[in-house]
Amino acid sequence: MDTKIRIGIVGYGNLGKGVESAIAQNDDLELAGVFSRREPGDLKVNSNAPVLRLNEIEKHVDDIDVLILCGGSKNDLPEQGPALSKLFNTVDSFDTHAKIPEYFEAMDASARPNGKTAIISVGWDPGLFSINRLYGESILPEGATYTFWGKGLSQGHSDAVRRIEGVKGAVQYTIPVESAVDKVRNGSQPELTTREKHTRECFVVLEEGADEAEVERAIVTMPDYFADYDTTVNFITEQQLKEEHSAMPHGGFVIRSGKTGEANNQVMEFSLILDSNPEFTSSVLVAYARAAYRLNKSGEAGAKTVFDIAPGLLSPKSAAQLRKEIL
């Protein structure tokens, strides 16, 4: 084994904790430090990695090969990403689909002139699901692609609800509409609107004195996140939230239904059943950190997405070993 790849974590929420435990599953990686806005003395991490001040991160440019940015897409990454990818190779899970092109440009403009590699929007969607959409439409050009999520708790959407004024705590579940799924599996290639495919269900704890109607309106009208869906908002107590909504399961599937030759049906499907959504997303981030390191070593600077990353770069095994063992 060569020297280990040194990973830094920025932000120690569910995703940061997941990255910490995923790194421990990979012999070629080591956790060099956890960076947080919190005072180092106030933050206890699960490993024995040092806790460091985010505002002093530039002191550590020589100690870290890849930074994994574990902040949220709405408020953290749009600022942190471009600032940190000037100094470090980065991997993040930016997941506001509609704003990816603009985020990509910002990351490319900061990383490329500084010789850094920034892989954005890594995880399962965007991420593995995106790759499967791409394989599907590239291999079966005459067909239709369907993505269904859930039933599961969405980190990004829960986070968005939590940032609304008056919200003390919240979780959001995404639920596929069964009748729509059935139509797709039958190979009938139905046309489905966003609203017909999924519903969204929120469980919200209010701050004292907050207005139910106002919070509900802020949720259901939120662009990108909720405006295009039928959303149900349930108000619950803090104890209910803790007791009934602490697990973070998720999953879903991407189906490409296409035709070849005279009229042969061909169906490709990728599916995930996840006990822990953040831990799985973290595991994907960690595999792509290995790719970021290798790409940067080979001189590939600038912003990248999962579409730009050859699968072999994710594995600790050599190309020859992969050909022999799993091709």
Tell me if 104 contacts a second copy by CB under 8 A.
yes
Cβ neighbourhood burial of 127 (10 Å; 0-12, 13-18, 19+): buried
Q: 129, 117, 55, 62: which is closest to 90 by C-alpha? A: 117
Judged by CB under 8 A, which stretch of 80-88, 97-105, 189-197, 232-240 contacts a second copy?
A: 97-105
Instruction: Using the minimum distance from each CB to a second copy, give the nearer residue, 25 or 55.
Output: 25
Tell me if 320 contacts a second copy by CB under 8 A.
yes
Tell me if 139 contacts a second copy by CB under 8 A.
yes
Tell me if 181 contacts a second copy by CB under 8 A.
no
Q: What percent of the chain is helix, strand and coil (3-state, nearest 5)?
A: 40, 30, 35
Tell me if 326 contacts a second copy by CB under 8 A.
yes
Token pair 């704003």 in the structure block, residue: 99
∠ CA 10-16-17, rounded to 5°: 145
Q: Are 138 and 175 in contact (CB under 8 A)?
A: no
Instruction: Using the minimum distance from each CB to a second copy, give the nearer residue, 43 or 273.
Output: 273
Secondary element (H or E) of residue 274: strand 264-274
Report how far residue 117's alpha carbon sits from residue 3's, in angstroms, rounded to the nearest whole number.
20
- Of the candidates 38, 113, 243, 311, which one interacts with a second copy according to CB under 8 A? 311
Q: Residue 26, SS3?
A: coil
Instruction: Using the minimum distance from each CB to a second copy, give the nearer residue, 87 or 272.
Output: 272
The set of long-range contacts for 311-316, using a CB threshold of 8 Å and a minimum separation of 24, is: 314/287, 314/288, 314/290, 315/287, 315/290, 316/26, 316/27, 316/28, 316/290
Query: What character string, x for contact with a second copy (CB under 8 A) and - otherwise, covers 218-257?
Result: ----------------------------------------
Tell me if 47 contacts a second copy by CB under 8 A.
no
Tell me if 149 contacts a second copy by CB under 8 A.
no
Tell me if 293 contacts a second copy by CB under 8 A.
no
Tell me if 119 contacts a second copy by CB under 8 A.
no
Backbone angles phi, psi at 320, to 5 degrees: -65, -40
- Of the candidates 85, 141, 232, 233, which one interacts with a second copy according to CB under 8 A? 141
Instruction: Using the minimum distance from each CB to a second copy, give the nearer residue, 107 or 161.
Output: 107
Tell me if 113 contacts a second copy by CB under 8 A.
no
- Of the candidates 36, 265, 289, 294, which one interacts with a second copy according to CB under 8 A? 265
Token pair 């929420």 in the structure block, residue: 13
Tell me if 49 contacts a second copy by CB under 8 A.
no
DSSP string, 146-190: EEEE-SEE-HHHHHHHHTSTTEEEEEEEEEE-HHHHHHHHTT---
Tell me if 22 contacts a second copy by CB under 8 A.
yes
- Of the candidates 193, 223, 246, 327, which one interacts with a second copy according to CB under 8 A? 327
* Binding residues among 272-291 for a second copy as defined by CB under 8 A: 272-276, 279-280, 282-284, 287, 290
Report how far residue 325's alpha carbon sits from residue 327's, in angstroms, rounded to the nearest whole number.
6
Tell me the CA distances in angstroms from 69 to 25, 120, 231, one per residue in order: 19, 10, 30
Q: Residue 8, SS3?
A: strand
Instruction: Using the minimum distance from each CB to a second copy, give the nearer residue, 233 or 289.
Output: 289
- Of the candidates 100, 109, 175, 210, which one interacts with a second copy according to CB under 8 A? 100
Residues that bind a second copy (CB under 8 A): 18, 21-22, 25-26, 97, 100-101, 104, 121, 126, 128, 130-135, 137-142, 145, 260-261, 264-276, 279-280, 282-284, 287, 290, 305-312, 314-316, 319-320, 322-324, 326-327
